[in-house]
Structure 1
Amino acid sequence: MKKYEELIEQIRRQIQNEIWQTGEKLPSLRKQAEMSGVSLMTVVHAYQVLESQGWIVSRARSGYVVTPKIENCDSTPSNEPVQKTESVDINDFVFEVLQASRTPNITDFGKVYPDPTLYPRQHVNKSLISTARTLSASSAMDNLPPGNLELRQHIAKRYAAQGLAVHPDEIVITTGALEALNLSLQSVTQPGDWVVVESPTFYGALQSLQRLSLRALSIRTHPTDGIDLESLEDALQSHQVKACWLMTNHQNPLGFTLSLEKKKRLMALLSKYDVYLIEDDVYNELYFGSEKPLPAKAFDNHGKALHCSSFSKSLVAGFRIGWVAAGKMAVTIQKLQMMSTLSASAPIQMTLASYLSTRNYERHLRQLRRTLEQRKFATWQELRNHLPAQVNINCTDGGYFLWLELPRGFDATELYRRALKENICITPGKMFSAGDFHNHCFRLNVSFELSDLRLRAIRTLGELIRSMLATRS
């Protein structure tokens, strides 16, 4: 059981045993974190779940209080369990939103990468300069697929630190995680095949399905608990699914991390139906607690999990270096890579291998996680202060995204267009769905420092939302 789940159970029992009375104020977020020995974001996550279940309610600027006794406190997602899409058509809209985020002088909450000032540029540049001095005429050939051996060995050691036995020969270095994911998907599917994705899911997965002419089965996914495994099994029983593209840690856009028990059940289910898992795990280093979450691949006993990640979210985005721990599919993926990009950049592979040979990466990650947690909490507080009460803010203890949900029927795409006129960019929920299932939601990147400009942008978003809600009533 995760720490936030333990805290939820503890507070629930206290309320049931009338330690906390109806209308009584709970300890503040900081006080609860102190008392329980957990992070602030863990308390935020726990209080948020308790609020969604009806146990407590937030009062503006005064904290959380216990609500009257309730009979049913289970929160269930409202979208359909399984949504079928014969032909995915998302790329034009994704392109429009990403281009809009490049507008000069815009306050951008829509970026997919964290604040670039958080990257350790000085140390990485030092490794880059050192690599440039030692490049030989054969460097390009030495770093062809599966990629730089020293870099693959460093990655294999990071798996080993979590108890996973991944041989360097199973790892293929790619141009970013997206190439790893695309090649993995291509290696196990043919045009017209059914592929499972979460609902909502990362828009890159939908773009890949569109490019490869694959059909989507979008499975209901809870903001806290993750993918609905019962709905997933229904889909596997009724359709000849070839692969599942899922995020098990700090999912984009919702932010949840699947429990270990759920990861075990997921892998058992995919093994039962002979389905590959394309595991998108690019945020795995951005956890806020003391323990790095295991990937679902840790519970793969039948070679069905292709684990994809990168250094783009945790170290430096511009280098575009990712990988896939592909197991028995490694050679197939190498062949596909050589027909497309040929290989990832040889100098950049060598630079990262050099950088990872130092202790700088672990020091950087510790600081990065602390900063992201502080900024996420600070932005969550500002949003709670300035957005209407009808806005549900899903805040989890990892990553750097917040998922905001408004009443169904609210048009977050229209909010996106109105915000653009105010030089503010958000990511509308339509980007994360093969249909309009999440058009009442939007995602915010909260990795940036809360400057005066960003504070004003949050207030403006609150005003825009209030105005749009008023026209619906």
Structure 2
Amino acid sequence: MQMRYRDIASWIETQIQQRVWQVGDRIPSVREMSRLQHVSPMTVMRAYEQLEADGWVEARPRSGFFVRPHYNKLAVDALARPQAQSQWLDTHQDVFDVISASHKGAYYPFGSAFPDPQLFPMQALGRAMARVLRQSSHPDHFTILPPGDSGLRRLIAQRYLRQGIKVSIDEIIITNGAIEALSLSLAAVTEPGDKVIIEAPAFYGVLQTLERLQLEAVPVTVDPETGVDIHALEHALASHSISACWLMSNFHNPTGASIPAPRRPDVVNLLATYQVPLIEDDVYGELFFAEARPMPLKAYDTQGGVLHCGSFSKQLAPGFRVGWIAAGCYAMQIEKRQSVSSLAVGAPNQLAIADYLKQGGYDSHLRRLRETLFARQALIRAELKALLPASTRISQPKGGYFLWVELDKRVDTHVLFQALRPYGVTIAPGALFASDGRFNHCFRLNVSVVGRQNTGALNNPQSLEGLKQIATSLSALSVQSTVTAEY
């Protein structure tokens, strides 16, 4: 009976996902389902109790079982509720424009969010993939279902352990990159209409994810030097009914800020006091310039309320799209959700990364990568300080590959972005990182790519013509603004 009731529960759950039964619908009675499935009424009742426990249905006295609003798992039917105009629609178009311009012929794609692919061990990864394909003759090797390949999850758990963080292999779920990790985590702890604390400025993927899940943002300021404002965080928690908090602990995108080490336990304890789950976006954590990797917020979690999200895309294999969640007490919910959404992560990619990690060269690669990024950041930052007006503020992150540049408030960096496009230079204008225009005078710069020729080959790092063009275009815009103001 045990397996049979689970089969029935899974079957009905799938039907709800496929909208056969919608919110408010009455599912078949126990007697009717018993007849349809040729099982005892007791088996059906056990299946319905499981569905109720999982949040899919609710029992109504003398009426039966009905589909309830659940977990954010389904989008609202477009016919049932008219779609309101999106406040971030223009931001989506801007994001598309920047990504498109940065990857279609730009000589200097400083606006890209992706690291320079020439910095990664592609030949070693190719050999790993070849080994995996030669050795994986069994069909099961290409149908790895959630939570993902056990060998890769074990290797990830071991890397946590080396930092002194106890993470069970059972709470690690492999995902299709960091965005799926973060989206699944957010959906697991919210329902449409909930309020979520995010950073300001925020990575544009955060804004897009909140819109997709119909969630309301409560922004908390991030300073490029001191990180998230803990007093503003506490005020937001006290002033709103918050369902989740999404923070980048290390080398924040776009500012490069990190939460200071002494404040990290305070952030975790504060959110635990308000019983608010923390989604920790730590995709840049391995790209530190100091002697040791910063301790993630997950290290201070004693209640399982921190969902730590990582990825191999930023430091090893951008095109493989392999990320993960150390999901704490939400692991089972997320595993179920992934099973009915993306289903699984590409098995060859998981196995190839696991094979590469076993070869033992990953940490050596990371050391070389960090040294290169540190040198490029120093070079580009020094050049920018020499080229741009003295009033310009330029961040100095302790890791990652972004610089955050704050110009005179009269400058619109989206206009600057458009002015640079004919010269093959891109930036990420501040309008991408907030919906209210407060960062329109700022832009994000990717320091991992210092310049390209038409062939895509890297120039000598001293070739910084793209930065000079930014300064020239900015100067031209400033002159135009002055002339306009005089008239």
Question: TM-score per shorter chain, which class?
Answer: 0.7 to 0.9
Query: Is there any run of 5+ residues in structure 2 with no aligned partner, and where?
Result: 1-85, 452-458, 483-487
Equivalent residue for 2:427?
426
Query: For the residues of structure 1 that align with 2:449 and 2:99, how far apart are their CA atoms?
Result: 18
Equivalent residue for 2:159?
158
Residue 469 of structure 2 corresponds to residue 468 of structure 1: no
Query: For the residues of structure 2 that align with 1:104 and 1:367, how far apart are their CA atoms?
Result: 28
**Of 139, 142, 149, the match for 2:141:** 139
Equivalent residue for 2:467?
458
Query: For the residues of structure 1 that align with 2:281 and 2:167, how far apart are their CA atoms?
Result: 17
Q: CA deviation at 1:468?
A: 2.0
Q: CA deviation at 1:412?
A: 0.8
Q: Which amino acid aligns with 1:217?
A: V
Equivalent residue for 1:120?
121
Residue 367 of structure 2 corresponds to residue 358 of structure 1: no
Query: For the residues of structure 1 that align with 2:98 and 2:465, how far apart are their CA atoms?
Result: 22
Q: CA deviation at 1:454?
A: 5.5
Q: CA deviation at 1:421?
A: 2.4
Q: CA deviation at 1:103?
A: 2.7
Equivalent residue for 1:397?
398
Residue 384 of structure 2 corresponds to residue 383 of structure 1: yes
2:318 partner SS: coil
Q: Which amino acid aligns with 2:140?
A: S
Query: For the residues of structure 2 that align with 1:222 and 1:449, how far apart are their CA atoms?
Result: 26
Query: For the residues of structure 2 that align with 1:415 and 1:378, how far apart are their CA atoms?
Result: 22
Query: Where do 1:311-330 residues align within 5 Å?
Result: 311-330=312-331
Give the number of the structure whose alpha-carbon radius of gyration is greater: 2
Query: For the residues of structure 2 that align with 1:140 and 1:176, how far apart are their CA atoms?
Result: 18
Query: Where do 1:75-86 residues align within 5 Å?
Result: none
Equivalent residue for 1:281?
282
1:357 partner SS: helix
1:230 partner SS: helix
Equivalent residue for 2:216?
215
Residue 204 of structure 2 corresponds to residue 203 of structure 1: yes
Query: Where do 1:284-295 residues align within 5 Å?
Result: 284-295=285-296
Q: How many residues align?
A: 387
Name the TM-score, length of structure 1 as normaliser: 0.79
Q: CA deviation at 1:298?
A: 0.8
Q: CA deviation at 1:409?
A: 2.7
Q: Which amino acid aligns with 2:392?
A: V
1:103 partner SS: coil
Give yes or no for contact 2:450–2:464 (8 Å, CA) kept in 1.
Answer: no
Query: Where do 1:433-448 residues align within 5 Å?
Result: 433-448=434-449
Q: CA deviation at 1:186?
A: 0.4
Give yes or no for contact 2:417–2:429 (8 Å, CA) kept in 1.
Answer: yes
Q: CA deviation at 1:113?
A: 1.5
1:253 partner SS: coil
Give yes or no for contact 1:147–1:343 (8 Å, CA) kept in 2.
Answer: yes
Q: CA deviation at 1:324?
A: 0.2
Q: Which amino acid aligns with 1:220?
A: T
Query: For the residues of structure 2 that align with 1:101 and 1:374, how far apart are their CA atoms?
Result: 22
Residue 246 of structure 2 corresponds to residue 245 of structure 1: yes
Equivalent residue for 1:6?
none
- CA offsets, 1:413-439, max 9 Å, x none? 111111112221110011111221100
Query: For the residues of structure 2 that align with 1:389 and 1:444, how far apart are their CA atoms?
Result: 18
Equivalent residue for 2:104?
103
Equivalent residue for 1:306?
307
Query: For the residues of structure 2 that align with 1:209 and 1:446, how far apart are their CA atoms?
Result: 28
- Identity of paired residues, percent? 42
Equivalent residue for 2:188?
187
Name the TM-score, length of structure 2 as normaliser: 0.77
Give yes or no for contact 1:107–1:454 (8 Å, CA) kept in 2.
Answer: no
User: RMSD between aligned alpha carbons?
Assistant: 1.5
1:404 partner SS: strand
2:289 partner SS: coil
